[in-house]
Chain A
Amino acid sequence: MTRTDLGMPAFPDAAREAVRDGVLRANLRHATHTIRDKRARAVAELEDWDRLRAAGKAVKDHTLRHLDRYLLQLEAAVTAAGGTVHWAVDADEANRIVTELVRATGEREVVKVKSMATQEIGLNEALEAAGITAYETDLAELIVQLGHDRPSHILVPAIHRNRAEIRDIFRAEMGRWGRPAPDPLGDDPRELAEAARLHLREKFLRAKVAVCGANFMVAETGTMVVFESEGNGRMCLTLPETLISVVGIEKVVPTFRDLEIFLQTLPRSSTAERMNPYTTMWTGLGPSRGADGDGPSAFHLVLLDNGRTDTLADETGRQALRCIRCSACLNVCPVYERAGGHAYGSVYPGPIGAVLSPQLRGTDSEIDASLPYASTLCGACYDVCPVAIDIPEILVHLRERVAQGGPVTRHGIRVRIRPAHGHTAERAAMRAARLLLDRPGALRAGERLLARARRLAPRRLPGPGAAWTDTRDLPSVPAEPFRDWWTRERGTPQ
């Protein structure tokens, strides 16, 4: 998560702009509804979906519980297969390691496979600062990069753009990065894809270094797994001489056989396909690779922590580490659909972003303190999640942290944090409300007072209530609360 993200306004403010942007809302609505319906159909085809979901959850939980052991096993397996393993405690360290590895090759450019981990650490910006250009090769990621934009969806980073906008970006920017867009260029998807293909092909053939992430890492064999749709990833994984993979430590699974679960659940949850078009698995260098020129001759795995072990220390919050980044929760989230991905101020938008970012980054910044409240707790995200992450539960847990403070683990040390700014009045109001609610006698007197003053009831409320009355009318106060009706009709309640 790059530094620039942290100056973001709080979620409600960022979302306000998106809500008012009619084109953006239409783009988002169309895209999320299309994919959510397709996903529902793809999932309904499997009779044992619930069991697959439970199995995925169990594998991930087991691995997280023994993460230290599986990571060491993975390191041994990757090393035995000819790879080199590096450990990065945070974004800066990971960026430094990758930059040095690229520098050591003498190259000034790298091709990239779309990867959340490298976006999380801001690798492209770090490489640029070191004079190295990183070229994104995923179509949507390319659109974002050429548009000097930020991704707004995990799987479809350019979900907020429509075809006409994409054509304009290609026409204006491709030439500055390499092969220009064909002239003329229409906004037909096939034409746009062809323009991107020609542009990217040059990059693949020239590149000596590739940077990627991985969807899974198998501890027993040291195998890295990349799921993708376009085939650009496979080009990056096979053509260059040096391959550098940056992967979050939570991506490990114990055995090769565990993949059987995720090979079914991940594609269906993310792209609504029965199987993703390209699944690439590679294990270190292997005896035949490198030697006969097939595949890279050097492989580096950078294992990234960046707040993950701290998250693991939290009993409720740790389930967020089960996430396989399918993005199904984004596509069903009614809040994401209106607010768009940028409002979340992180490469992880939507429901998973709302629980992951405040854990990985802490709740100090305004945006991170507002994210746990960016949900109605409607539960749609929990329902679709293929690894059964109870996102609403974590949201409430994090709200408590923001509103009340409490124990958290930071850099491996257990500390107590103070409540976030701006919650003093709310805390007082919640306490006052509870004191009233805990005394039915007083509550009843209050209700009566309200009923008597009902004709005086204002149409607009002051303070935080104004947000309600700006767009909605208040319910009219009844002449008599239920309690009084009961007493009048049935006598004193017991």
Chain B
Amino acid sequence: MKEQEYINDLKEIKDIMNRSSRFLSLSGLSGISAGFCALVGAYFAYDILYNIGYNRTIIGQKKIDALVVIGIVTLLAALGSALFFTFREAKKNGRTLWDLQAKRLLINMMIPLVAGGVLTLSLVEKGFIGLAAPLTLIFYGLALVNASKYSVSELRGMGILEIILGLLATQFIGYGLWFWTIGFGVLHIVYGTYMYFNAKK
């Protein structure tokens, strides 16, 4: 009997350590919904690029403006839907969404993300548009690897894959949208599905 008590103690200790240091309300559904938004966004972006014969024609300011609008709408939709499912998961488990762990996760994710975002913007402004896709993928991957220490461990594997994809994309400038679609769309859906079914067990 004493043995069972000790085993229960150890289990409880492990649970407390996990719950107190990591943000665990990320549900696989948030990944799937974000990936889906990325695919829809990519479809509209592809439409614009394809119509003007990407690779051959110089992209005009009007097209760039349209692409930026698509990018922002996609980002907001992805963030919103991911937040919605995270909120639902937190509620289901009786946890508060905005706690110490959430703050820590957000801060540590934002550091590489903001650094990469500013760098990408300043390079795009100087005309290096082709570098936008690889750089955003690499820095998003770094942000995920960093965030994995404060959240579910699956983020680490996904981050590493995003970094590899970003580095690969530097060799195929001009196909940025394809890498973007794989990185932000397909990978999110694949990992989201994996997390969703893993958490159920």
**Do they bind each other?**
no
